[in-house]
Amino acid sequence: MGKTIIISNRLPVQLQIGNGSITAMPSVGGLATGMKSVHSGSDSLWIGWSGLTDEEIPEGMGAKIDKALAEHGALKVPLNEAEVEGFYFGFSNRTIWPLFHYFMEYAEFELENWEVYCEVNQKFANVVLEKAEDGDIIWVHDYQLMLVPAMVREERPDVSIGFFLHIPFPSYEIFRTLPWREEILDGLLGSDLIGFHTYDYERHFLSSVRRLKGLEVSYNEIYVDNRTVKVDSFPMGIDYDKFHQAAKKQGTSKKKDQSDLQRRLDLHRETAPDSKLILSIDRLDYTKGIAKRLHAFLYFLNKYPQYKEKVRLIILAVPSRSNVPQYQLLKREVDELVGRINGELATVSWTPIWYFYRSVPFENLINLYTSSDIAWLTPIRDGMNLVAKEYIASRTDQSGVLILSEMAGAANEMNEALLINPNNFEEIADSLFYAINMPIEEQQARNALMQKRLARYNVEKWANDFMDSLKQKPEKVATTITRLLKGQVWDNMMSSYQIAKNRLFFLDYDGTLTGFRNDPQQAAPDSRLFELLDRLSEPEENTVYLISGRDKDTFQKWFGHKNYNMIVEHGVWISENGEGFRMLEQVKKDWMDKIRPVLESFVDRTPGSFIEEKNYSMAWHYRQTDPDFGNKRATELTTVVTSLIGTDNITLLSGNKVLEIKSGNVNKGRACSQVLVQGEYDFVFAIGDDTTDEFMFEELPKSTFTVKVGRDKTHARFFIENARKVRDLLAGFIHV
Ligand code: GDG
């Protein structure tokens, strides 16, 4: 069992330098706490930036810092000022952060920052690579390091790499605007497991992968090169016991042990016993909707003036990213708004808003959670929002009301909260009114359910679930029953080939001998393919058939000048030894006039799709359509055609981005069987990539060397990774 390597932008350690000495204190953030069970003991290493730039580290202190960090199982990635500026404040926080939170107008697309982002990601990857050994498990965190998985994979293809995104993954329509969108996807796809907070982020990611990379996605697995990347949602929890116990302890503490803040809060309660405290805590970030919340507060007080002097809003805004201009503007806006509202509405005995622009110690956080009647969290977008969970965990008597934006990931798990749209002031004002008047029994009933869930799916469970899923190698559908054609398996096949006297080959064309083209007419054979087929057909022991769903005229045009054996239109026609096509199956075609208008209506309504008409079949191709839309239409067309063909002797075949309607019960399997009985073959080989090739794999005798191209589920005995490997495989027969 190898070690665990965690990589995040910041290390879970705070460094303090003073009088030539260094102290390293563990940080108390959610991630650091959550990873405790993963990052413990000598078999775990945490790699990240220390928070001090090279310029800030005093001469001769480097080694001391390394030693102090090592005591916490941490190793630093050294970064200079320019790197932090371009990578962190630049690309991470001025491009990815706004874009992924749907603030498109804030996103800056600066080539220079992107280049620094790439370089710094490589720096992180290099530190990982220096430490990574066989069997290690690597867990990369968050949007600052999206290129690291592929960078590590490149050098260490066999280690397990997980990636977790703590912020939303935006819809394809937003993500596609990023100039470096494919590079970001390639970086992430270096992982074995990619985790998101919610299913929505997961499906947005999968949609971008399909649309931008054209990769096959099956449920939550992506097939890339010869690997499977698993994608899943793991909603991050909190250290429930820590908050719950701290709140409990505070409830029983003596007056003299209480914090100043708690005394002030208690005093407020005593002097205004029927007034309500409304709390909001966030980093000062435009995604958190603080300014909007202030406007909404004013709206509420105008709509329900009876609550003037009866409610107080506490805003704790934690300083954040103050180097980025948008954050400076936001700070000014919030300062002004608070000043204006307080100035307009305050009375001698009432200040509507208590505003703190600072970070407070944990104890004060608990004071605020336990003393506030309502937590009011209205982010415009938020990956998860842990504050919502912490507030509920701290309510030991189960009183209190949580008003939460439905744009926060946490809303998915906290249905019992009052969920609001942060842009709907009317709804917000009414929710505040409802919250103020909510009977205690209702508060307790709602909170009991949420507490139960939060206690069970806590941050430790979250981290362990992710790790367990990463350790579990993705189930390789093909390899469990079908073996990769290499090594011993390959040698066995070659020995059978060598001793055989009469060999038969069935070779599918599209997706096997040639890759897929958007236009099927462009997939004409190249000279290398002719040479390969000529040489494979050369020995008199070998009989080679090209077997395809294509129409006979196309094959006649492409291969007519050669004496290849060909079976086309899935087995309707056969041509042997250059003798021209004859019918292998007698089939009717009078149904085609009935089906054609139906297919045409689908072409009209599905941009990018088209009809290919063959002699005895019609195919509706949808490779060039929007993938989701194309799949939806394919399901629709299947239903329509199935009901139309009824009991007629017509078959509907679903292929790779094509639906084909054919006469009779014709298929490649029947055709192969008819050829097989004509001779005494002691080596039979069949290869194909498509669902229509499964008929061959099923029908041919068990001893046949059936080979599937790609990793989809198959009846073939063997598989190879992709079409690029097919020609090498066939060349193997020539060179024995
Ligand atoms: C990102 C995503 C996702 C806040 N003020 C103080 C303080 N805090 C602590 C809270 C909470 C944490 O900071 C804030 O976490 P959030 O989840 O609310 O928000 P982000 O910082 O934006 O975090 C977010 C998260 O990553 C995890 O994946 O949920 O969506 O944006 O734990 O308690 N702690 C102390 N003093 C403060 O003044 N001690």
Pairing of strands 718-720, 503-508: unpaired
The residue to which tokens 């709206």 are assigned: 299
Using CA atoms, how far apart are residues 137 and 468, in angstroms rounded to an integer? 11
Q: Is the CB of 174 under 6 A from ligand 1?
A: no
Question: What is residue 691's three-state secondary structure?
Answer: helix
Atom of ligand 1 nearest to the CA of 361: 39
Query: In the listed set 233, 258, 290, which residue is the last one of a domain according to the structure?
Result: 233
Q: Is the CB of 237 under 6 A from ligand 1?
A: no
Q: Is the CB of 290 under 6 A from ligand 1?
A: no
Tell if the pTM clears 0.95, that is, is over it: no
pLDDT at 642 over 70: yes
pLDDT at 520 over 80: no
283 Cα: distance to centroid of ligand 1 (angstroms): 7
641 Cα: distance to centroid of ligand 1 (angstroms): 54
In a shared domain, residues 313 and 388: yes
In a shared domain, residues 114 and 254: no
Count other Cβ atoms within 10 Å, centred on residue 711. 23
Tens of pLDDT, residues 495-508: 999 999 999 999 99
Whether residue 463 is contained in a domain is answered as no
Q: Is the CB of 319 under 6 A from ligand 1?
A: no
CATH of the domain at 729: 3.40.50.1000
- Lowest mean pLDDT segment, chosen from 132-136, 217-221, 468-472: 217-221
Using CA atoms, how far apart are residues 280 and 315, in angstroms rounded to an integer? 5
Whether residue 457 is contained in a domain is answered as no
Q: Is the CB of 386 under 6 A from ligand 1?
A: yes
pLDDT at 632 over 90: no
Tens of pLDDT, residues 287-328: 999 999 999 999 999 999 999 999 999 999 999 888 888 899
Of 14, 140, 259, 386, the residue with max ligand 1 atoms within 8 A of its CB, to mutate for a pocket test, comes to: 386
Residue nearest to atom 1 of ligand 1 (CA): 166
Q: Is the CB of 493 under 6 A from ligand 1?
A: no
442 Cα: distance to centroid of ligand 1 (angstroms): 28
Q: Are 668 and 570 in contact (CB under 8 A)?
A: yes
In a shared domain, residues 552 and 637: no
Q: Residue 490: its pLDDT value, please?
A: 92
In a shared domain, residues 247 and 208: no
What average pLDDT score do residues 428-456 get?
A: 97
pLDDT at 473 over 70: no
Whether residue 720 is contained in a domain is answered as yes
574 Cα: distance to centroid of ligand 1 (angstroms): 69
Q: Is the dihedral of CA 207, 213, 217, 222 positive or negative?
A: negative
Q: Residue 543: its pLDDT value, please?
A: 97
Question: What is residue 591's three-state secondary structure?
Answer: coil
Whether residue 474 is contained in a domain is answered as no
In a shared domain, residues 698 and 637: no
Q: Is the CB of 30 under 6 A from ligand 1?
A: yes
Atom of ligand 1 nearest to the CA of 285: 22
Atom of ligand 1 nearest to the CA of 29: 32
pLDDT confidence bin for 247, thresholds 50/70/90 = very high
Using CA atoms, how far apart are residues 511 and 332, in angstroms rounded to an integer? 60
Of 10, 384, 402, 414, the residue with max ligand 1 atoms within 8 A of its CB, to mutate for a pocket test, comes to: 384
In a shared domain, residues 657 and 671: no
Q: Residue 478: its pLDDT value, please?
A: 42
In a shared domain, residues 254 and 105: no
Does residue 508 have an active-site annotation? yes
In a shared domain, residues 180 and 196: yes
Atom of ligand 1 nearest to the CA of 288: 22
* Counted domains in the chain: 4
Q: Residue 479: its pLDDT value, please?
A: 41
pLDDT at 10 over 90: yes
CATH of the domain at 599: 3.30.70.1020
| Highest mean predicted confidence (pLDDT) among 252-266, 373-387, 504-518, 698-712 | 373-387
What percentage of the chain has pLDDT greater than the value 90? 71
Q: Is the CB of 360 under 6 A from ligand 1?
A: yes
Q: How much is the CA Rg of the chain, to the nearest whole Å?
A: 33
530 Cα: distance to centroid of ligand 1 (angstroms): 63
239 Cα: distance to centroid of ligand 1 (angstroms): 13
Tens of pLDDT, residues 712-721: 778 999 999 8
322 Cα: distance to centroid of ligand 1 (angstroms): 17
Atom of ligand 1 nearest to the CA of 166: 28
* 656 sits in which H/E element: none
Tens of pLDDT, residues 29-79: 667 767 877 887 678 999 999 999 999 988 888 888 999 999 999 999 999
pLDDT confidence bin for 444, thresholds 50/70/90 = very high
Nearest Cα to 90, choosing from 59, 121, 67, 131?
A: 121
Whether residue 477 is contained in a domain is answered as no
566 Cα: distance to centroid of ligand 1 (angstroms): 66
In a shared domain, residues 578 and 614: no
pLDDT at 736 over 70: no
Tens of pLDDT, residues 144-187: 999 999 999 999 988 999 999 999 999 999 999 999 999 999 99
Residue nearest to atom 6 of ligand 1 (CA): 359
Which of 285, 508, 689, 690 does the annotation list as catalytic?
508
Count other Cβ atoms within 10 Å, centred on residue 53. 16
pLDDT at 601 over 90: no
- Lowest mean pLDDT segment, chosen from 65-74, 436-445, 643-652, 718-727: 643-652
Q: Is the CB of 363 under 6 A from ligand 1?
A: no
Helices marked H in 5-61 = 30-34
The residue to which tokens 């069949």 are assigned: 686
Count Cα neighbours of 395 within 13 Å in the Cβ-side half-sphere.
Answer: 27
Range of the domain at 56: 4-233
What average pLDDT score do residues 530-541 get?
A: 95
Helix, strand, coil share of the chain (percent; to 5) = 45, 20, 35
Whether residue 258 is contained in a domain is answered as yes
Query: In the listed set 431, 449, 467, which residue is the last one of a domain according to the structure?
Result: 449
Q: Is the CB of 380 under 6 A from ligand 1?
A: no
Count Cα neighbours of 389 within 13 Å in the Cβ-side half-sphere.
Answer: 26
pLDDT at 109 over 60: yes
pLDDT at 647 over 80: no
Q: Are 380 and 101 in contact (CB under 8 A)?
A: yes
- Lowest mean pLDDT segment, chosen from 11-25, 300-314, 660-674, 676-690: 11-25
CATH of the domain at 263: 3.40.50.2000
Q: Residue 477: its pLDDT value, please?
A: 41
* 105 sits in which H/E element: none
Using CA atoms, how far apart are residues 610 and 625, in angstroms rounded to an integer? 10
Q: Are 657 and 627 in contact (CB under 8 A)?
A: no
The side-by-side arrangement of strands in the sheet containing 650-655 is: 610-613, 617-621, 658-663, 650-655
Q: Is the CB of 411 under 6 A from ligand 1?
A: no
Query: Using N-to-C axis directions, what is the helix angle for 527-537 and 726-734, rounded to 10°?
Result: 40
Q: Are 226 and 236 in contact (CB under 8 A)?
A: no
Atom of ligand 1 nearest to the CA of 410: 29
Q: Residue 476: its pLDDT value, please?
A: 45
The residue to which tokens 């920052």 are assigned: 113
Q: Is the CB of 413 under 6 A from ligand 1?
A: no
Query: Using N-to-C axis directions, what is the helix angle for 440-456 and 386-393, rounded to 10°?
Result: 110
Q: Are 7 and 124 in contact (CB under 8 A)?
A: yes
- Mean residue pLDDT of the chain comes to 91
Using CA atoms, how far apart are residues 662 and 189, in angstroms rounded to an integer? 39
Q: Is the CB of 359 under 6 A from ligand 1?
A: yes
Q: Are 621 and 519 in contact (CB under 8 A)?
A: no
Query: In the listed set 449, 468, 491, which residue is the last one of a domain according to the structure?
Result: 449
358 Cα: distance to centroid of ligand 1 (angstroms): 13
In a shared domain, residues 96 and 187: yes
Nearest Cα to 300, choosing from 487, 417, 436, 454?
A: 436
Residue nearest to atom 30 of ligand 1 (CA): 383
Q: Are 32 and 141 in contact (CB under 8 A)?
A: no
In a shared domain, residues 415 and 275: yes
Whether residue 334 is contained in a domain is answered as yes
In a shared domain, residues 673 and 564: yes
602 Cα: distance to centroid of ligand 1 (angstroms): 50
Q: Is the CB of 141 under 6 A from ligand 1?
A: no
Whether residue 148 is contained in a domain is answered as yes
pLDDT confidence bin for 407, thresholds 50/70/90 = very high
